[in-house]
Amino acid sequence: MRKILTYILSASVVALLSVSCENAKFLDQYPYSQTSPENFYNSQESMRMALISCYEIINTNKIPGAGNMQRGSYAQGLLYIMNTPSDDMVASSSSSNEGLEMMWANYNESTQCVRDFWKVQYAGINRCNTLLHYIEDIDMDPALKEQYKAEARFLRAFYYYHLAWNFGGVPIVLSHESNGQEPRATLEKVYGQIFDDLDYAYTTLNTTGVFQTSSANKYTAAAYIARICNYLAACKNNNAGAGLEGEGNLNSFAFVDADAMYKRSKEVCEDIILNSSYKLIPDYTNLFRETTKSQQYQECLFLAELPLSGSEGYWPNSFYLPSPTCNADSPTVWGGRFVPTPRAFYMYSKNDPRRDHNMTGRMQDVHPDGHMGKIEIRVDGYTYYNPDPPRTEVNELDASGNPIKDESSATGYKQIESPLYDSPTQTYLATAGIQVCPGKYRLCKIDQLQRTYNQHCVSFPLMRLADVYLMYAEAVYFHDGDEGTAREYLRKVLLRACGNDETLCDQLMTEYRRDNFTDELLESRERELIFECSRKWDLIRFNQIDQKISSLNKSGVDRSDIERVLGKEAADKIHDNYLIFPSDAYLKIGIPTLVDNWESYKIWLPISEEQRGVNKSLTQNYGW
């Protein structure tokens, strides 16, 4: 919408009503009793509120004049856009209009989340532009003023980064008084602006932000410089988006100097690693719980942060949280809408602790012994429910695939435990009737926080030190050719995942080693960062997304994946019938739908008909 570029933070703007009234002299009077930009931005405190509003967009549920934003922020379904489509998660069949079209790859220029996403990011950009305009005339400490400006410029770059990764070249708007008619700029110009803002933030910001742990600081800016450098370098080296540049080469990566990008990434990552106070926390799982924010702050350089108190801010419905469904005494989470693929499950070794946290059963499943599928645990004084490992009994089949009769059995057939059951943990059994869920994000018991049963206060990690280590490994490898140092940093991440068990870490490093280091790098990133807005972009920038999606098995579990984890002898004992998706399974619907819908040009989102309707200078991305 054109007007979206002129909306200011909701706390500082009152809508002006147009009226028609003969001889109404009061209309000539300036409404000093009302809040307006001219009389609001007049103090350091007003600048503080303005900066808060710039951050608020990350998790907003609405923007003034445009209403509810159901899919445009991290608390409102942005994970749909930033995580999918990819080869590690598909949509269930439970809904067709709540962002799941992103996982099915059937989004188009009318899709609600595409429309909301554009508006939310530009609302964030406009708030940053507003602060940067008015702060120049504010009487405040010069050093603090620079910090405010640097954080606003970091956030402007943050919002442009989201737009550029998803839409390609977009309009560059640097004035809060824009009329919304700017044409799209090329990727070269957009990233030029992003780097200008990030460089300013990196060289200006202190090691602690204005709002302490909730603010961006110089190392946050450094990490985003590294992420964008690695993205651009890989896109250039692997010809990502070739043939999809569009009108005027809007989305061309020809301008990128890949080696220079990797060099810059290496330098800023080294600064973070050597000089920042961030560290890998001992327990990987505590990065993804509602109540472990103090631990998150130790590792996370940036969070999409929600407060623990229900009296603060907007509370998003847990519909948008990928997590296993819970029961009445813990928050309701609509986990059925996200379904991990079997290849994502078998990407992990059965001994990798991250697998059993990131891939789980559902909490409401009733197991053969009659208990519900959850185990109560305590974390820092709060009660959580871990999804209980799925344990199911199925009919044993003969060589022809028929059930073996057994009159002593209650079912009349010989029963065996899940044939893929390889450890006291969950296992991906296509025919067990137990759905595997992305269980990475965990909610505590309902009565321990001030919120309703269908809400959550999980703060999503957007940038953490483990990712910096992995980015550094990539930059060192591609810039210096130093595979040894690169693998050393892969090991640092894995060692933490293993609870600092050196023996287990060495075992997994051997198991995960690949002749092609790029394959090893991308697999290491997926195991650590799965469901954290990483995999989709790794596949795009290494030009693998077409092949990875098309190679997903539409009908069942690949035996080769099982062999890699369990070994050939164990895998050979599993009858093919146990590997086939039931006709009504989410995977049977989700995977074929994704594979059939995916097209190469969909690495770029379409410019919505709404935006092109109000800004005639906007051109559409190639293929749409």
Question: Residue 38: pLDDT band by 50, 70, 90 thresholds?
Answer: low
**In whole angstroms, what is the distance from residue 189 CA to residue 203 CA?**
21
**What pLDDT is recorded for position 433?**
45
Which of 151-155, 382-386, 531-535 is least confident? 382-386
**What pLDDT is recorded for position 257?**
98
Q: What is the pLDDT of residues 234-249, one digit of tens each?
A: 999 999 999 999 989 9
Question: Residue 29: pLDDT band by 50, 70, 90 thresholds?
Answer: very low
Question: Residue 319: pLDDT band by 50, 70, 90 thresholds?
Answer: confident
Q: Tell me the torsion sign for CA atoms 20, 26, 30, 31.
A: negative
- Residue 5 predicted with pLDDT over 90: no
Question: Residue 365: pLDDT band by 50, 70, 90 thresholds?
Answer: low
Structure-model confidence comparison of residues 22 and 436, the more confident one:
436
Q: Is the peptide bond before 322 cis (omega within 30 degrees of 0)?
A: no
Q: Which one-letter amino acid corresponds to residue 114?
A: V
**Would you give the DSSP letter of residue 616?**
T
**What pLDDT is recorded for position 140?**
94
Average pLDDT over every residue of 142-168: 98
Residue 259 · residue 477 · CB < 8 Å: no
- Residue 377 predicted with pLDDT over 90: no
**What pLDDT is recorded for position 421?**
40
- Residue 591 predicted with pLDDT over 50: yes
**What pLDDT is recorded for position 14?**
28
Structure-model confidence comparison of residues 20 and 558, the more confident one:
558
**What pLDDT is recorded for position 75?**
87
**In whole angstroms, what is the distance from residue 291 CA to residue 301 CA?**
18
3-state secondary structure of 288: helix
Question: Residue 336: pLDDT band by 50, 70, 90 thresholds?
Answer: low
- pTM to 2 decimals? 0.89
Structure-model confidence comparison of residues 474 and 570, the more confident one:
474
Residue 318 · residue 334 · CB < 8 Å: yes
**In whole angstroms, what is the distance from residue 189 CA to residue 192 CA?**
5
Which of 80-89, 201-210, 385-394 is least confident? 385-394
Start-to-end CA distance of the chain, whole Å, equals 20
**In whole angstroms, what is the distance from residue 526 CA to residue 520 CA?**
10
**What pLDDT is recorded for position 317?**
77
Structure-model confidence comparison of residues 30 and 540, the more confident one:
540
**In whole angstroms, what is the distance from residue 530 CA to residue 437 CA?**
13
Q: What is the pLDDT of residues 443-497, one digit of tens each?
A: 888 888 877 777 888 999 999 999 999 999 999 999 999 999 999 999 999 999 9
**What pLDDT is recorded for position 80?**
86
- Residue 331 predicted with pLDDT over 70: no
Average pLDDT over every residue of 14-40: 41
Sole residue written with tokens 């770059």: 157
Strands 300-304 and 393-395: unpaired
**In whole angstroms, what is the distance from residue 565 CA to residue 563 CA?**
5
**Which residues fall within 8 angstroms of residue 22, CB to CB, at 6 or more apart?**
none
- Residue 419 predicted with pLDDT over 60: no
Which of 35-49, 79-93, 178-192, 599-613 is least confident? 35-49
**What pLDDT is recorded for position 95?**
55
Which of 78-92, 407-421, 573-587 is least confident? 407-421
**What pLDDT is recorded for position 250?**
97
Helix (H) or strand (E) holding 460: strand 460-464
**Residue 152 to residues 7, 129, 215, Cα–Cα distance (Å):** 16, 8, 10
**What pLDDT is recorded for position 42?**
82
Sole residue written with tokens 């079209």: 101
Q: Tell me the torsion sign for CA atoms 47, 51, 54, 56.
A: negative
Q: Which one-letter amino acid corresponds to residue 443?
A: L
Percent of the chain with pLDDT over 70: 82
Residue 113 · residue 97 · CB < 8 Å: no
**Mean of per-residue pLDDT scores for the chain:** 85
Which of 100-114, 132-146, 419-433 is least confident? 419-433
Which of 1-10, 52-61, 92-101, 485-494 is least confident? 1-10
**What pLDDT is recorded for position 407?**
86
Question: Residue 195: pLDDT band by 50, 70, 90 thresholds?
Answer: very high
Structure-model confidence comparison of residues 281 and 3, the more confident one:
281
Concatenated DSSP letters for 334-371?
-GGGEEE-HHHHTTS-TT-HHHHHHEE--TTPBPTTS-
**In whole angstroms, what is the distance from residue 550 CA to residue 591 CA?**
10
**What pLDDT is recorded for position 93?**
67
Which of 259-263, 395-399, 420-424 is least confident? 420-424
Helix (H) or strand (E) holding 395: strand 393-395
Q: Which range scores top for mean pLDDT: 274-278, 340-344, 558-562?
A: 274-278
